[in-house]
Amino acid sequence: MSTTATIFIATGRRKTATARIRLTEGTGKLTVNGRTFDSYFSHENFSKQAYAPLLTVSLREKIDVTANVTGGGVAGQAGAVAHGIARALQKMNMELRIPLKKAGHIKRDPRAKERKKPGQPGARKRFQFSKR
């Protein structure tokens, strides 16, 4: 007879990165695309940012996180994982919404790269003005 663990699934996004998160009760095992958080996120700041919602609600050692991340760079992916974890924790226990929202984990960070405009070399940069 097998025991079925409840799985909470959520999606997190940041810049152009998308993270699909699966939370289960466990021992605090954190994996991203089949690798550990520390080996996937090259700098420790990125891995800390990714599991920050777990630290906010003091569940770092009680929940296993499995993340599939696509798109973007390392910083955007870390933000997407954090956003997805926060949304999954909220699904798991609605009472966690208040501390997560207060810490700023629920809101999606809307900042993204601005598009390049026609007739310009970049989004804001203009070609050099020549009077003569």
64 has pLDDT over 50:
yes
CATH code for 8-103? 3.30.230.10
Task: Please spell the DSSP secondary structure of the chain, one letter per residue.
Answer: -PPPPP-EEEEEEETTEEEEEEEEESS--EEETTEEHHHHSSSHHHHHHHTHHHHHTT-TTTEEEEEEEESS-HHHHHHHHHHHHHHHHHHH-GGGHHHHHHHT-SS-----PPPPPTTSSSSS--PPP---
pLDDT tens-place string over residues 9-63? 999 999 999 999 999 999 999 999 999 998 999 999 999 999 999 999 999 999 9
Kindly report the pTM of this predicted structure.
0.90
Domain boundaries, the chain: 8-103
